[in-house]
Chains A and B, each alone.
Chain A
Amino acid sequence: MKRQMTGAKMIVQALIDQGVDTVFGYPGGAVLPIYDEVFQQNSIKHVLVRHEQGAVHAAEGYARATGKPGVVLVTSGPGATNAVTGLTDALLDSIPLVVLTGQVPTFMIGSDAFQEADTVGITRPCTKHNWLVKETDNLGPVLHEAFHVATHGRPGPVLIDIPKDVQFATGQYESPKPSTSRYQPQVKGDMTEITELVAAMETAKRPIFYTGGGVINSGPAASQLLRELVDATGFPITSTLMGLGAYPASGEKWLGMLGMHGLYEANMAMHDCDLMINIGARFDDRITGVIDSFSPKSTKAHIDIDPSSINKVIRIDIPIVGDVAHVLEDLLKVWKSRGRKTNSEAVAKWWKQIEEWRAKDCLKFTQSGKIIKPQYALSRLEALTKGHDRYITTEVGQHQMWAAQYLGFEEPNRWMTSGGLGTMGYGFPASIGVQMAHPEALVINVAGEASWLMNMQEMGTAMQFGLPVKQFILNNERLGMVRQWQELLHGERYSQSWSEALPDFVKLAEAFGAKGIICSDPDDLDDAIMEMINYDGPVIFDCLVEKHENCFPMIPSGKAHNEMLLPGDHETQGVIDSKGSVLV
């Protein structure tokens, strides 16, 4: 049924019809009519952030914790440009977002009007798709299509730029119909390729599952099927940073994360395997190390919904285009119908080899003396929060890698981190988005002090909406990862990589009306963490840690998986050659 209404009303109605319950935004001149409609309804909660970048990261956190698209509403010009980092972050990590931006009225576009920016031009390379809507009648169909595009195929951020006169004008609105969209990416995998993969699995001597964020994006069914497949075949499984939680960390086939700061056994197994089954990962350079020496002896299968991910970086022998859940379902069916065969004798031998690598205990550390080691802080956080309904977000840097190494994830959608773009300032607003989605859960942002300061204005948001997010800051008064690379690569010349003039985080918390906790003694740590958990409200936890700790294990840039640096390796000078040093 078509109804007549203003563009602004249409926008709110479309959000309601699309099942949106929360919008993250910031008002301004070019979105006033929409905000007027937001004011006059109760179906959608609006979370007023303190900076548009925070709105987009919060929406990302919401999207990752729920599997639903995150929605953002910001004004034209600076509102839109401030959203660009978040859009790029969401694009690289395939997070579904619908971002609405106001625009100057159509008759003023191109006149360098106040707060005018070419938003669709600026955001074209950092969205999956975007639209400038110039007629109110088109608004409804574009809004519905935007949700479809953001959530189908490889998910991603989309943006709709809406001039102010289009918001004021009236037009026809129609509720969404079951998909009339032309955009229908392939979800079923090719059965011939799937059968070929099954045949390879039946004979593989040293198989490994290498899984990524695609499993989580595919939905809970995909994680369930993955668990079934791994447990039925008995093959080892490793995952990227983005895929943690798809297979439980307590699962017996779990090798831990792979990649630059992944576990020794995971990387060695990737290097020596004879069958690599990539499920929803994309051979990121943090994963592969130097391409020429990447897993030289393996047959490589790759399941991905995005055909452009296949053969982009690594040559694939068995390519399967499709949605992870659909493909895994068919894969399991074929494997079972052919008699559930594996080369179990060889796989047992493979596990023996893996156990030898595991015996190196690459995450081992010794907490001694009166200074808290960051690894110890995270081990205690893990131990004390394990039983809780827990969600973890992170900022970017050493703390992020330590969190990935020392925290265990049993379920998907419990871990939100900026993987592809590596956006410092992501974690705090993301934790706000997660807490909005799960008000009763324990939401912790594992942060470094430098990253955290990048979006600290969101303390206001946390306070206003009573969101008890815990900011667990590993404070080493350094840009720890930058410092580490300067140690390894630049002769220990620590150019600009320390945090000076830091605030007193306890007073900062109190200034906002939140709770501040400082802890510097390992003996006090457990009590302090418990105090943080038990406090009903936002907490800034200033955990003073060892200032010069390096994050190991590490594949130095330009090296292969089997050339990892382990915590015991003190000879770190000169490990990266000139070829490696140009890589980031």
Chain B
Amino acid sequence: MAALKIKKGATSHSAYNLRPNFSDVIEKHTLAVLVENEPGALARVIGLFSGRGYNIDSLTVAEVDHTGHLSRITIVTSGTPQVIEQIKAQVGRIVPVHEVHDLTVEGASVERELAMFKVVGKGEQRVEALRLADIFRANVVDSTLESFVFEITGAPEKIDAFADLMRPLGLVEVARTGVAALARGA
């Protein structure tokens, strides 16, 4: 848990860039929110997005620090720079929120998503699906004589690309976790 680097005491509200550029361009941002792992904390964050009309493109949440009672919510959202700044400030003032990081602007970051694809088919299609899965380094986690379940991990774009390829090969069901992200470097 050393990598968490939770700041104690004062919240990091002042660290926000309060002089955003007011352009009309819609940007996609990935936010990492460290939140007290208490009942209702996730509802509070999600309720804020729906109540104030912000977008959620993807959202993942899990406890990351059991002793510190902390969960990490990764939210991919989109909006103008002003809206993004507002989202960060609004999320930041939720009482159980410890920290908000905008991974899109705070230096380089890595994003990963896990997905499972059920592909149903026979003969040549089935072979082709397996061959492509190999190229994408997807694992077979379940198989029958007419189906595979592939597990794939990667950036969302890679998973989108794999989904596009599987669709004509008998893709019947998809489950995706949503994005988890971390800043690069120490």
Residues of A at the B interface (CB closer than 8 Å) are 120-121, 124-125, 128-130, 132, 149, 153-154, 182-186, 190, 306-308, 310-312, 315-317, 319, 321
Q: Is the CB of B86 closer than 8 A to any CB of chain A? A: yes
Task: Name the one of A121, A124, A153, A319 contacting B18, with C-beta atoms under 8 angstroms.
Answer: A319
Q: Give the bracket for the number of chain B residues in contact with chain A.
A: 20 to 34
Residues of B at the A interface (CB closer than 8 Å) are 8-11, 13-14, 16, 18-20, 22, 39-40, 43-44, 47, 51, 82, 85-86, 89-90, 92-96, 98
Question: Contacts A124-B43, A129-B95 known; A310 to B11 CB distance under 8 Å?
Answer: no
Question: Contacts A307-B92, A307-B93 known; A185 to B11 CB distance under 8 Å?
Answer: yes
- A149, B95: Cβ atoms closer than 8 Å: yes
Task: Name the one of A132, A186, A306 contacting B39, with C-beta atoms under 8 angstroms.
Answer: A132
Task: Name the one of A121, A306, A311, A317 contacting B93, with C-beta atoms under 8 angstroms.
Answer: A306
Docked CA distance A184–B10 (Å): 5
- A186, B95: Cβ atoms closer than 8 Å: no
- A124, B44: Cβ atoms closer than 8 Å: yes
- A321, B14: Cβ atoms closer than 8 Å: yes
Q: Chain B: which residue is nearest A190 at the CB level? A: B14
Residue in B14, B51, B86, B89 with the greatest tally of chain A CB atoms within 10 Å: B14
- A184, B89: Cβ atoms closer than 8 Å: no
- Chain B residue contacts of A312, Cβ below 8 A: 86, 89
Question: Contacts A128-B95, A183-B95, A186-B14 known; A308 to B90 CB distance under 8 Å?
Answer: yes
Docked CA distance A360–B169 (Å): 78
Docked CA distance A125–B9 (Å): 26
A-B contact pairs, 22 of them (CB 8 A): A124-B44, A128-B95, A129-B94, A132-B40, A153-B93, A184-B10, A185-B13, A186-B10, A186-B13, A186-B14, A306-B89, A307-B13, A307-B14, A307-B16, A307-B93, A308-B90, A308-B92, A310-B89, A311-B18, A312-B89, A316-B18, A321-B13
Docked CA distance A190–B51 (Å): 31
- Chain B residue contacts of A308, Cβ below 8 A: 86, 89-90, 92-93
* Ranked 8 nearest A-B pairs via Cβ: A308-B89, A319-B18, A129-B95, A307-B89, A307-B13, A308-B90, A186-B14, A125-B51
- B10, A124: Cβ atoms closer than 8 Å: no
Docked CA distance A34–B149 (Å): 57
- Chain A residue contacts of B16, Cβ below 8 A: 307
Docked CA distance A121–B44 (Å): 9
Docked CA distance A321–B10 (Å): 13
Docked CA distance A182–B43 (Å): 21
> Smallest distance from the beta carbon of A376 to chain B beta carbons, Å?
43
Docked CA distance A13–B176 (Å): 50
- Chain B residue contacts of A132, Cβ below 8 A: 39-40
Docked CA distance A23–B40 (Å): 27
> Smallest distance from the beta carbon of B144 to chain A beta carbons, Å?
39
Question: Contacts A185-B13, A186-B11, A321-B14 known; A311 to B20 CB distance under 8 Å?
Answer: yes
Docked CA distance A307–B87 (Å): 11
Question: Contacts A186-B13, A186-B14 known; A121 to B43 CB distance under 8 Å?
Answer: yes
Docked CA distance A125–B43 (Å): 10
Q: Chain A: which residue is nearest B95 at the CB level? A: A129
> Smallest distance from the beta carbon of B134 to chain A beta carbons, Å?
48
Q: Chain A: which residue is nearest B89 at the CB level? A: A308
- A124, B47: Cβ atoms closer than 8 Å: yes
Q: Chain A: which residue is nearest B22 at the CB level? A: A315
- B40, A124: Cβ atoms closer than 8 Å: yes
Docked CA distance A580–B85 (Å): 28
Docked CA distance A483–B134 (Å): 72
- Chain A residue contacts of B95, Cβ below 8 A: 128-129, 149, 183
Q: Chain A: which residue is nearest B39 at the CB level? A: A132
Q: Chain A: which residue is nearest B98 at the CB level? A: A182
- Chain A residue contacts of B18, Cβ below 8 A: 307, 310-311, 316, 319, 321
Docked CA distance A319–B20 (Å): 11
Docked CA distance A232–B47 (Å): 46
Task: Name the one of B9, B11, B14, B82 contacting A311, with C-beta atoms under 8 angstroms.
Answer: B82
Q: Chain B: which residue is nearest A132 at the CB level? A: B39
- Chain B residue contacts of A125, Cβ below 8 A: 47, 51
Docked CA distance A316–B44 (Å): 28
> Smallest distance from the beta carbon of A316 to chain B beta carbons, Å?
7
> Smallest distance from the beta carbon of B32 to chain A beta carbons, Å?
18
Docked CA distance A30–B85 (Å): 42
Docked CA distance A130–B16 (Å): 26
- Chain A residue contacts of B44, Cβ below 8 A: 124
Docked CA distance A120–B47 (Å): 13
> Smallest distance from the beta carbon of B153 to chain A beta carbons, Å?
34
Docked CA distance A185–B98 (Å): 11
- Chain B residue contacts of A184, Cβ below 8 A: 9-11
Q: Apart from A186-B10, A310-B18, what are 12 other A-B pairs with CB-CB below 8 Å?
A: A120-B40, A121-B43, A124-B44, A184-B10, A186-B11, A307-B92, A307-B93, A308-B90, A311-B18, A315-B22, A317-B19, A321-B13
- Chain A residue contacts of B47, Cβ below 8 A: 124-125
Q: Chain B: which residue is nearest A181 at the CB level? A: B95
Docked CA distance A306–B16 (Å): 12
> Smallest distance from the beta carbon of A187 to chain B beta carbons, Å?
10
Q: Chain B: which residue is nearest A129 at the CB level? A: B95
> Smallest distance from the beta carbon of A282 to chain B beta carbons, Å?
13
- Chain B residue contacts of A186, Cβ below 8 A: 10-11, 13-14
> Smallest distance from the beta carbon of B5 to chain A beta carbons, Å?
16
Q: Chain A: which residue is nearest B81 at the CB level? A: A311
Residue in B39, B40, B43, B51 with the greatest tally of chain A CB atoms within 10 Å: B40
- Chain A residue contacts of B43, Cβ below 8 A: 121, 124
